[in-house]
Structure formats: structure tokens, C-alpha cells
Structure 1
């Protein structure tokens, strides 16, 4: 099914506006810039193929985030690997350049994947818990629990950094 030109333009505009968010989410899952780029590219292809079937076109940004999260997880499972914290680049990744807080981003990267995804979507993408639950395929209550646990861990990590 072909995408009409007006809809194609809308898709491209929303994609352009969401590119940083998609990359940041994929990076928080894969912990590797190349893998994050690959996951985003694959997600964009899948989304474009299925775009004509999307009923609520105003939900396109959230839909793109969900597909990106799924693609990043799928890529990690396919590669079946984990990246030790020691292998993370010492130079700040893209999100720190935006926020100016590399220590916080590094702390976020040390969280377990489910908490990392949730923190990125809540604090960096400013999404409500209900929307995060839809994107991650869980309940709003689970999202709130993940956020609470993540905040607790982040406080501990950042406190150690101040005194360590």
C-alpha cells in the first residue's frame, strides 16, 4: 500500500523531529552507538512500511518510540551480548551534549535496562507514565515502580560519585 505524498511528508517531518529521541532510547537499550543507529534505521523502515495501517496518526511519535524500543531489544537479543561498563566510551554520548550533564547520563546508563528505558522516556522525552507503559508494553504501576527504583539507584550512584 503506497503512502500518499501528504502523509509521507508528515511521516518525514515527525521522524525528523523525533530523531534525537529515537536515538537516545535505542542507545539506552543497546549501549552502543552503532547498534543504536542500526536499531533506529530498522525501526524507521518497519514504521514506514506499516504507516498506512496506523489508525491514530497523531500518535506517530509514540508509535515510533515503541517500534524503536522493540527493534533495539530485538537487536540485543540477536547479538546476545552485554557491554561491560568499562567498554562504554569515556566521551559523552549525544544526550550529554544536549543536557550538559554527562555524570547523570553515565549514571542512567548503569541502571538495569528496564529502569534505563523508563528513565529515558520519562525524564529525557517527558512522556507520562501511561504513555511509557504503552511503549514498553507494561502497566503504569510498573512504570512508577521502575522510576522509583531508578531514582533510588541514581541517588546512590551520584552520591558515591561525589564522595568517591
Structure 2
């Protein structure tokens, strides 16, 4: 059965179709959540919250072809809500930190610190684009933002990252 057919059935209230779709996408949701909180337990909690909210509102989704975009929007919002609620410093999971080579660990931490220095919307756009490899149009749909704004946020965000990482000058 095609994803579109599963999406239509899930919207119609078929729990099995919804479960199949979630099972196919849970790893992607987890990766996205982890890039926000960098903690295994918190990321799993965000996945759980995303699935719960999606299950409660799946029948409100009017166009099945936007299931992925809709689900990622719920996940992004759940991650941002989690961060706002926790109001704490985010630490990298020790298992992940140990997996970096000594030469690479500092660069990874610098990248996360540089991402944290960006405003919330720019950070979200860059994470969806480069960590989740999401097409620009899908990012615009997910964040309900014009495509031109998404492109500008990516350009300015990458320039700020270059400066924060000491790898370039802002082009004017």
C-alpha cells in the first residue's frame, strides 16, 4: 500500500495505518528532536509527545499529501515547547560525545554552540535543511513561512555560523 493511501486511511481514523506511518517516520522525528535537545531521554520524550499530539489531531489534517510536513511541524513545536519548559542548559549525551574522535569532538561542540547562538527560527530552518535534508518548500510549509524568507534565513544563518565558527567574513 502506498504512503498516500496510508495517509488517507490514517486521516479517516484507521489506527493501524497511523501506526505504520509513525513507525516509518519515528527515526526521523527522533533525529530532529535530538538536534534540538542533544539528550536521548528528552528526545524520546519529544517523539512520544509528537506521536500523541499527532494521534489526537490526525483527523483534522485535510490533505494527506502534507502528512510528513504536518508531522514535522508538530515535532518542531514539541521540541521548542520542551526547551521552553525546561529552561535549562542543554548538554550533549555522553554516549554520543564519546563516539566523536578527539580531533572531531571540539568541532562538533563548536557547531552546536554556534547553532545555539542563532535565533530560534533561523536555527530551526538550518536544522531542518541540513540535519533533516528537508526541501526548502517543505520547510516553508512546515513553518508556514514564505519560501523567500526561508532562503533568506538560510543565507543569513550560514553567514552567522561562518562568523561564529571563525571561518569567514559576512558578505555584504
TM-score (norm 1): 0.72
1:108 and 1:119 in contact (8 A); partners too: no
Distance 2:159 2:148 in 1: 17
Cα deviation 1:76-131 (Å, max 9, x = unaligned): 2222x1426xx3345537xx99xxx8777545523124333212211233322232
Structure 1: tracts of 5 or more residues without a match: none
2:11 and 2:58 in contact (8 A); partners too: no
**Are 2:84 and 1:77 equivalent residues in the alignment?**
yes
Which residue, out of 31, 34, 43, partners 1:36? 43
Matches within 5 A, 1:109-148: 109-110=112-113, 111=115, 112=118, 113-148=120-155
TM-score (norm 2): 0.69
1:23 and 1:40 in contact (8 A); partners too: yes
**Are 2:95 and 1:88 equivalent residues in the alignment?**
no
Larger Rg: 2
Cα deviation 1:42-87 (Å, max 9, x = unaligned): 11011011112222122211111000111111122222x1426xx3
Distance 1:102 1:135 in 2: 32
Structure 2: tracts of 5 or more residues without a match: 1-9
Shift of 1:41: 0.5
Structure 2 CA distance for partners of 1:140 and 1:155, relative to 1, 3 Å: same
